[in-house]
Chains A and B, each alone.
Chain A
Amino acid sequence: MKDPTKMPDERGYFGRYGGRFVPETLMPALSELEGAYLEAKSSDDFQQELAYYLQNYAGRPTPLYFAEKLTKALRGPKIYLKREDLLHTGAHKINNTVGQTLLARRMGKKRIIAETGAGQHGVATAAATARFGLECTIYMGQEDIRRQSLNVFRMRLLGAKVVPVSSGSQTLKDAINEAIRDWVTNVANTFYLLGSVVGMHPYPMMVRDFQSVIGREARRQIMEAEGRIPDYIVACVGGGSNAMGIFYPFYDDQTVLIGVEAAGQGLESGLSAAPLIIGTPGILHGTFTYLLQDDDGQVLTAHSVAPGLDYPGVGPEHSWYRDSGRARYVSVTDQEALEAFMLLSETEGIIPALESAHAIAYVKKMAPQLSDKDIVLINLSGRGDKDVNIVAEHLKVKL
């Protein structure tokens, strides 16, 4: 087994996945970013500053919570929830935005740009840039703006400029295209704060490193609670940052890692977001990874009830985990995720993000095959306040 701490290689590859497929204009900027990041990573000052703000601003460590009532309801394994939903701005995204914002400040960049799908990364970026006094522009698909108007307002309250993207499918993938176009144009003074383990090197590595605080904490906490590592770790996968954040520190353990993609209205329906299951390798947003694409290499539109999973690609490190067999990738449908959303709300009094509800839905499916000696750890990556409108629509409730 290759040492995961040595991945990616110096060209940004995880096995055959990853790389840097970008316009020439960005190549020097990516080298500069990589150098600055590696320098910061090994700097005690930077790490202390990051730890300080993660603790006092973001709200770390998050609890590892034994979900006793959910465990009883599913009559299977012992279920723990890693409560990333309790973080400032409501999801794991803040781990990465605090990290990258501190890096941008260290590099002397005054202007931050970011993309957002559901709005969670946009809100986390707007919060961090407000805190550190940097100018912030967020690109968001027109369709997502409609679906997540509350988050748009939150970003504006936090002082960010939200720019609607009306090209292509008007969702996350087009927002990333537009953010890259902005970066190509304003590369000299601008820092691109990418929100997941996707895109060109060094982003998949850097975002993974910032998010792996989730797995490091969870490992320590489960050892305290149970005296052993879990048998299974389950996390939802859109771009895959919360999943990689919790998987990575368990790479060398015997734990079974399970990533849950969105089957949308069914894997055969043409309305899904499960590239690791039904996709093929290709290049999107500067990286070589599994994609939803047609025979001509045109990238297809993804669909999921969870806006944060609505992405036709996935982080290259997940593609490598998939091929090497280190992680298993499965899917659940919109309907199953909505049922899990209700289940967690009713049993534990925790409203999960629809994204995270995918992980819960899969645990519900696997529970009957497991024993009460098994330990399952779910990454509860975000809270569901942002999703109540979507859920109400599905339940045909008028708010």
Chain B
Amino acid sequence: MSRISDAFQRLRSENRRAFIPYITAGDPDLRLTRELVFEMEMAGAKIIELGIPFSDPLADGPTIQEASQKALRAGTTLEKILSTVEEIRRASDVPIALMTYYNPIFRVGISNFLQQAVDAGVDGIIVPDLPPEEGEELRRTAERIGIDTIFLLAPTSTAERIRLVAEASTGFIYCVSVTGVTGAREKLSGQVRELVARVRRHTNKPLGVGFGISTPDQAAEVARWADGVIVGSAIIKVIRKYEGTPELVPRVGEFVKSLVAAMGNIQTEARG
């Protein structure tokens, strides 16, 4: 069983939820990426999502766009990111999923990319511009190599598409909370709860919810009915605020702790 599935199974047996932070690798640099991963794990993160910066991140809002551009300008490459994952692996067993657009995978070669990722210690990949229809080769290769493929669902997904995505996903299914791009939002969209309920009718696989979750209250609300809560832009905003100061890593740790604490104090709803 993969580290990701294992983490969800353990949490489920304890009736707990996974907190899944996202950061862009190399923002502001890869040494800090490594330290942030350790800090977030200590603060209670159960799975880490690491973004590979891309020149044209069309599913991302301004916060992650800026993080990507900063990382690229700092000279971040796939090779350096995978070395950083290797370093993290020497000290930690926290499951790691790479979030990347499809072109960087295709450019390196699907098999080559996935093999290098697995060798470095990556557990899963999330590709926001790859629907299962286009992802057949990636899915088969990932299955052979032993890496989870986490496909996405959105509030606009039809029942037919939910079946397709649920079938293709391993590790967990990423439920996008809004019709929109990534980025912190003041209010949690009402669409997502309905989406999660619709997806549950088709699958028993763990469901992670992301896009737009930025506060402890929102994280607690989502944790009542989803298996995982994914927060990205709100964490990157903390990185921006404390960039260049020694407070950066501890401030991110505190913020993650506040989200995890909120998720721990909830009455979870019956599944199904």
- State yes or no: do A and B come from one complex: yes
Contact A27 B58 (CB under 8 A): no
Contact B133 A282 (CB under 8 A): no
Partner of A282, one of B58, B69, B103, B178: B103
Q: Say yes or no for A92: interface residue by CB 8 A criterion.
A: no
Partner-binding segment picked from B28-36, B149-157, B245-253, B257-265: B149-157
A180–B59 Cα gap in the complex (Å)? 8
Interface size, A (range): 35 or more
Contact A284 B103 (CB under 8 A): yes
Q: Say yes or no for A173: interface residue by CB 8 A criterion.
A: yes
Contact A285 B107 (CB under 8 A): no
Q: Say yes or no for A62: interface residue by CB 8 A criterion.
A: no
Q: Please report which residues of chain B, range 53-71, place their CB below 8 angstroms from some CB of chain A when the two chains form the complex.
A: 54-62, 65, 69
Nearest A residue to B105 via CB reads A297
Q: Say yes or no for B134: interface residue by CB 8 A criterion.
A: yes
Q: Say yes or no for A24: interface residue by CB 8 A criterion.
A: yes
Q: Say yes or no for A167: interface residue by CB 8 A criterion.
A: yes
Contact A11 B133 (CB under 8 A): yes
Partner-binding segment picked from B3-11, B88-96, B123-131, B217-225: B123-131
The contact string, 1 if C-beta is below 8 Å from chain A, for chain B 104-115, is 111110000000
Contact A282 B106 (CB under 8 A): yes
Q: Say yes or no for B102: interface residue by CB 8 A criterion.
A: yes
Contact A23 B158 (CB under 8 A): no
Task: Tell me the smallest distance from the CB of B205 to a CB of chain A, in Å.
Answer: 16
Q: Say yes or no for B161: interface residue by CB 8 A criterion.
A: yes
Q: Say yes or no for A270: interface residue by CB 8 A criterion.
A: no
A180–B181 Cα gap in the complex (Å)? 10
Q: Say yes or no for B165: interface residue by CB 8 A criterion.
A: yes
Q: Say yes or no for A20: interface residue by CB 8 A criterion.
A: yes
Q: Say yes or no for B77: interface residue by CB 8 A criterion.
A: yes
Contact B65 A286 (CB under 8 A): no
Q: Say yes or no for B267: interface residue by CB 8 A criterion.
A: no
Q: Say yes or no for B176: interface residue by CB 8 A criterion.
A: yes
Q: Say yes or no for A168: interface residue by CB 8 A criterion.
A: yes
Nearest A residue to B175 via CB reads A24
- From known contacts A24-B153, A24-B161, infer whether A181 and B58 are also in contact, taking CB-CB under 8 Å: yes
Task: Tell me the smallest distance from the CB of B113 to a CB of chain A, in Å.
Answer: 10
Q: Say yes or no for A29: interface residue by CB 8 A criterion.
A: yes
Q: Say yes or no for B78: interface residue by CB 8 A criterion.
A: yes
Contacts of B128 in A (CB 8 A): 23
A22–B157 Cα gap in the complex (Å)? 13
- From known contacts A25-B179, A181-B181, A184-B180, infer whether A296 and B78 are also in contact, taking CB-CB under 8 Å: yes
Contact B55 A168 (CB under 8 A): yes
A223–B40 Cα gap in the complex (Å)? 72
Partner of B107, one of A22, A173, A187, A293: A293
- From known contacts A28-B158, A185-B179, infer whether A168 and B134 are also in contact, taking CB-CB under 8 Å: no
Nearest A residue to B157 via CB reads A24
Contacts of B179 in A (CB 8 A): 25, 184-188
Q: Say yes or no for B72: interface residue by CB 8 A criterion.
A: yes
Partner of B130, one of A21, A177, A296: A21
A391–B219 Cα gap in the complex (Å)? 56
Contacts of A295 in B (CB 8 A): 107
The contact string, 1 if C-beta is below 8 Å from chain B, for chain A 19-53, is 11111111111000000000000000000000000
A280–B155 Cα gap in the complex (Å)? 35
Contact B78 A187 (CB under 8 A): no
Contacts of B155 in A (CB 8 A): 25
Contacts of A186 in B (CB 8 A): 179
Contact B156 A185 (CB under 8 A): no
Main secondary structure of the interface of B (DSSP, over half): loop
Nearest B residue to A298 via CB reads B55
Contact B107 A296 (CB under 8 A): yes
A24–B162 Cα gap in the complex (Å)? 10
Contact B154 A25 (CB under 8 A): yes
Contact A298 B131 (CB under 8 A): no
The contact string, 1 if C-beta is below 8 Å from chain B, for chain A 268-307, is 0000000000001011111000010101111110000000
- From known contacts A282-B103, A295-B107, A298-B54, infer whether A21 and B77 are also in contact, taking CB-CB under 8 Å: no
Contacts of A167 in B (CB 8 A): 62, 65, 69
Contact A296 B131 (CB under 8 A): no
Task: Tell me the smallest distance from the CB of A285 to a CB of chain B, in Å.
Answer: 7
Partner of B129, one of A22, A28, A300: A22
Contact A21 B181 (CB under 8 A): no
- From known contacts A168-B55, A181-B58, infer whether A25 and B107 are also in contact, taking CB-CB under 8 Å: no
Partner of A28, one of B55, B107, B157: B157
Contacts of B78 in A (CB 8 A): 296
Which of A11, A29, A167, A180: most chain B Cβ within 10 A? A167
Contact B55 A299 (CB under 8 A): yes
- From known contacts A25-B179, A284-B56, infer whether A297 and B104 are also in contact, taking CB-CB under 8 Å: yes
Which of A21, A177, A186, A284: most chain B Cβ within 10 A? A21
Contacts of A19 in B (CB 8 A): 134
Task: Tell me the smallest distance from the CB of A75 to a CB of chain B, in Å.
Answer: 46
Partner of A297, one of B57, B106, B154: B106
Task: Tell me the smallest distance from the CB of A29 to a CB of chain B, in Å.
Answer: 7
A291–B102 Cα gap in the complex (Å)? 14
Nearest A residue to B152 via CB reads A24
- From known contacts A167-B65, A297-B106, infer whether A21 and B59 are also in contact, taking CB-CB under 8 Å: no
- From known contacts A21-B134, A24-B161, A296-B107, infer whether A283 and B129 are also in contact, taking CB-CB under 8 Å: yes
Task: Tell me the smallest distance from the CB of A180 to a CB of chain B, in Å.
Answer: 5
Q: Write the residues of chain B forming the contact surface with A, with a CB cutoff of 8 angstroms.
A: 54-62, 65, 69, 72, 77-78, 101-108, 128-131, 133-134, 151-158, 161, 165, 176, 178-181
A-B interface, 3 closest residue pairs, ranked by CB to CB distance from nearest: A297-B107, A297-B104, A25-B154
Q: List 8 A-B contacts (CB under 8 A).
A: A24-B165, A25-B156, A184-B179, A283-B102, A285-B58, A296-B78, A298-B54, A298-B55
Q: A24-B176, A27-B157, A180-B58 are in contact. List 4 more A-B contacts (CB 8 A).
A: A24-B131, A25-B155, A188-B179, A298-B104
Q: Write the residues of chain A forming the contact surface with B, with a CB cutoff of 8 angstroms.
A: 11, 19-29, 167-168, 173-174, 177, 180-181, 184-188, 280, 282-286, 291, 293, 295-300
